[in-house]
Amino acid sequence: MNKKKGLLAILIILILDLFGTAAMLKIYPQFSIEKEALLGRNFENLKDFSVSEEGLLTSESEDPWIYYPFGEPVNIRFLSVKVSDVQGTETMAQVYLMPSQGLRMMKLKDGVLSAGFGLSQGCINVGGIRLDLATDAEAALRVEKAVINSRPAVILDAQRLLAFAFLVFGLIFAELLGWRRIVRERKEKPILLIGAFQAVLKLTLLWIIRKPLMEQGGTDYHHILWWMALLGLECFCIAALQLGAGRFKKSMLGYHALILPYAFTAFSLAELLSMKSFQYGL
């Protein structure tokens, strides 16, 4: 019987994953913008870029860009731009969604420059993209093409969202088990203030996950620090609830289990209060 329930649960998860991934792929379809279209027929999409006969773009100011308007509004979850022959001093590249001006920033280098966008960056009904590929007047590069909503990236993002949904569901389930044990064995009523506090924590976690955890292409870690702090606090509250319910009350291991979520929360809050962006060795 337990095996059948387990297989049924796995089947339900797979079906949800399949439909969720298919919905993400439909909302964010993949398409490519080739070099000629990206630059414009007569290079009308360029601002402060000169183009050599070999197709090398050279910056003529500290604020050059490529602006590509879409004929119809599109949804952009991921944007990647392939560049090569990068020359000049080290510079940063910035990618904007227009008209929301949702921004992602990364180091300009040979290869693929990738950026992910969430709802808070205006990824729905995007009218165009602006590629600020240099912040130095001497920079030069080639732009090969741009890819909107790479299928592998969208599929991985769907798995991330599904995993986070099950994480929140697991936290809710663990909390309900604790309250059930308190009501049944200790004959105590749930404390509404504590329940409301943990509900707010879960809603805040859902609110934070709406956009990528690391801002500015992975150079700003404040968002992921807030996520870590809230997740650690939520896990600490649930572990304390289980101890209060008496499930691990006589076990030293149960009390020591509080150390991990406490350390998780304390580290994140310490970094946030220091007003610094911890680099995690990257």
Q: Each residue of 120-167: pLDDT tens digit?
A: 788 889 999 999 888 777 788 888 899 999 999 999 988 888 888 888
C-alpha to C-alpha distance for 130 and 188, rounded to whole angstroms: 59
What is d(CA 175, CA 202) in angstroms, rounded to the nearest whole number?
11
Q: How far apart are CA 95 and CA 18, in angstroms?
A: 31
The structural domains of the chain, ordered by start, are 30-148 (2.60.120.260), 153-273 (no CATH)
CB atoms within 10 A of CB 107: 13
- pLDDT bracket for residue 218 (50, 70, 90): very low
- Checking if the pLDDT of 180 tops 90, the result is no
Mean pLDDT calculated for residue range 91-118: 86
Q: Which residues contact 90 (CB under 8 A, 6 or more apart)?
A: 107, 108
pLDDT digits (tens, 9 = 90+) for 190-216: 677 777 888 888 888 777 766 666 554
Instruction: State residue 282's pLDDT score.
Output: 38
Q: Report the alpha-carbon distance of residue 211 to residue 205 in Å, rounded.
A: 11
Percent of the chain whose predicted confidence (pLDDT) is above 90: 16
Question: What predicted TM-score, i.e. pTM, was given to this entire model?
Answer: 0.73
pLDDT for res 252: 62
* Spatial distance between the Cα atoms of 215 and 203, rounded to a whole number of angstroms: 21
Using one digit for the tens of pLDDT, what is the confidence trace for 246-274?
665 666 666 667 777 878 788 878 777 77
Of all helices (H) and strands (E), which one includes residue 116? strand 111-116
With cut-offs at 50, 70 and 90, classify the pLDDT of residue 92: confident
- How confident is the model at residue 281, as a pLDDT? 42
Supply the pLDDT for residue 49.
87
Q: Compute the average pLDDT of residues 112-119.
A: 85
* pLDDT for residue 101: 80
Whether residue 43 is predicted with pLDDT greater than 60 in this model: the reply is: yes
pLDDT at 246: 66
- Gap between the Cα atoms of 69 and 198, Å rounded: 45
Instruction: Report the pLDDT averaged over residues 32-37.
Output: 90
- Band (115; pLDDT cuts 50, 70, 90): confident
Mean pLDDT of all residues belonging to the chain: 81
The tokens 């022959």 sit on which residue? 85
How far is the C-alpha of 142 from the C-alpha of 125, rounded, in Å? 28
CA distance 230 to 205: 7
